[in-house]
Homo-oligomer: A and B are copies of this chain.
Amino acid sequence: MIQNVCDSDFGSVIKNRNQELLDSFGSHLRKLRKHRGMSQEELAYEADIPISQVGRIERGEINVTISTLYLIAKAMNMELKDLVNFR
């Protein structure tokens, strides 16, 4: 079978041009969450977003939007600027 280099499902092959940013934000968020003793489920509930979304963000799989960042910050009782203060 011929391999398709431009396969549309990508599979850990092609990454976002800002993958490092997403990875490091994900790690940062996970650290903040655990430091507060929250589970992904608790954070998701407080932020009113799906739990699957929290997991995807922490694993650096998605490029989170400012409105989701805001909901997460509020759920963790912190300011947006502190949530994105990493690296």
Contact = CB atoms under 8 A, between A and B. Distances in A.
> Quick one: copies of this chain in the complex?
2
A70 B20 CA distance: 12
A21 to B, nearest CB: 5
Given A63-B65, A65-B64, A65-B65, A18 B81 contact: no
Interface string A46-70: 0000000000000000011111011
Give chain A's interface secondary structure class. helix
Contacts of A32: none
Interface size class, chain A: 20 to 34
Contacts of A21: 66-67, 70
Nearest to A62: B65
A9 interface: no
